[in-house]
Amino acid sequence: MRTILVTGGAGFIGSNFVQMVLQEHGDYRVVNLDKLTYAGNLENLEGFLDHPNHIFVKGDICNGELIGKLLKEHAIDAIVHFAAESHVDRSLEGPAVFIDTNVTGTLKLLEAARDYPLQKFVQVSTDEVYGSLGTEGKFTESSPIRPNSPYSASKAAADHLVRAFGHTWGLPYNITRCSNNYGPYQFPEKMLPLMINNALHDKELPVYGDGLYVRDWLYVYDHCTAVWKVLTEGRAGEIYNIGGCNEKTNLEVIGIILERLQKPKSLIRHVKDRPGHDRRYAIDATKIMTELGWKPSVTFSQGLAKTIEWYLTHAKWLERVVSGDYEKYYQEMYSGR
């Protein structure tokens, strides 16, 4: 039995990853460390919280003492690091917490990992560290790092720290850089679930600028299988881009959502753009596909249909998530925009 420390395992991607491991890899035990910020939700782990191979720990990755203790106490073999402040818009309003969690938190994990015989450290990063593309080309693992938002700058800083710990102290690491995820349990501050939620309630859909910004969408389960491949088969010291070859403009994605929910296009409202908005992301995933034999399991159309179905059948989850603080956030972010 191997044991992995998953950070941020009550968030969107982390909870999907934890569920995948517990369901598909019975010879692994998961210690799940999550601070339960506004984005962390134990409901995302419903049915798995009491799983015999799952130990949930509420705590902060900035607490180095706690991490050192968890590594030893549970004889951790590897760390898969998802925990982060993850929303670009929030990083424009308040960047400090992004530095605390994404940079200092990662540093604390690395320091604990350096002083312990860890077999693998997987830094779950983002294509946003590469900045923005024009109409041509894709990000490869050797594209220059040019982050444009405080969020992506904090992720890039963390990636550099991971690399430095590998170079200086021989920490066996991988960095993954994935494009935009969608799927079950995504918090509705992100575009796709926000638009689904608004459309379901016949509320306006706030499209930033001209809506022709391009993202490369990947179903969350496929991101999880890619991270698993990297954890178990990735060559130490390597970076792996992860993406689904599903480039779509925001208006295209919103159009499909409206069609599936049978809602009118008149709900679309163009609003003031995000400052510094990256125009286009596109991933060249050749390396992980050829070297590790990973490929996505669903097309965008299948993944989106599954996702919309999930939100329709989890109305209570959505209702709870958008009550309270979310209402305040939405007002602050969108009223008068």
Footprint of ligand NAD on this chain (CB under 6 A)? 7-8, 10-14, 33-37, 39-40, 60-62, 82-84, 86, 101, 105, 124, 126, 155, 178, 180-181, 187
Q: Which residue has the tokens 């601070």?
A: 35
- For the beta carbon of residue 265, count every other beta carbon within 10 angstroms: 11
Name the phi and psi angles at 77, rounded to 5.
-90, -35
| Per CB under 6 A, 194 contacts ligand DAU | yes
Between 143 and 180, name the residue whose CB sits nearer to ligand DAU.
180
Residues 6+ apart with CB under 8 A from 241: 127, 139, 140, 141, 176, 177, 178, 283, 284, 285, 287, 288
Known catalytic residue at 325: no
**CA angle, 153 then 213 then 230, to 5°:** 50
Q: Which residue has the tokens 């010879």?
A: 27
Interface with ligand DAU (CB under 6 A), residue from 207, 257, 258, 298: 207
Between 317 and 334, name the residue whose CB sits nearer to ligand DAU.
334
Q: Which does residue 310 bind out of ligand NAD, ligand DAU, none, counting CB within 5 to 8 angstroms by kind?
A: none
Between 219 and 267, name the residue whose CB sits nearer to ligand NAD.
219
Of 6, 13, 10, 11, give the one whose Cα is nearest residue 180: 13
From the CB of 253, what's the least distance to ligand DAU, in Å?
Answer: 8
Known catalytic residue at 151: yes
Between 194 and 245, name the residue whose CB sits nearer to ligand DAU.
194
Distance CA 72, CA 80 (A): 16
Active-site annotation holder among 28, 34, 77, 151: 151
Distance CA 112, CA 110 (A): 5
Q: Which does residue 61 bind out of ligand DAU, ligand NAD, none, counting CB within 5 to 8 angstroms by kind?
A: ligand NAD
Distance CA 130, CA 242 (A): 13
Known catalytic residue at 330: no
From the CB of 125, what's the least distance to ligand NAD, in Å?
Answer: 6
State the residues that interact with ligand DAU by CB under 6 A.
Answer: 86-88, 126-128, 179-180, 190-191, 194, 206-208, 213, 215, 250, 274, 281
Could you list the active site residues? 127-128, 151
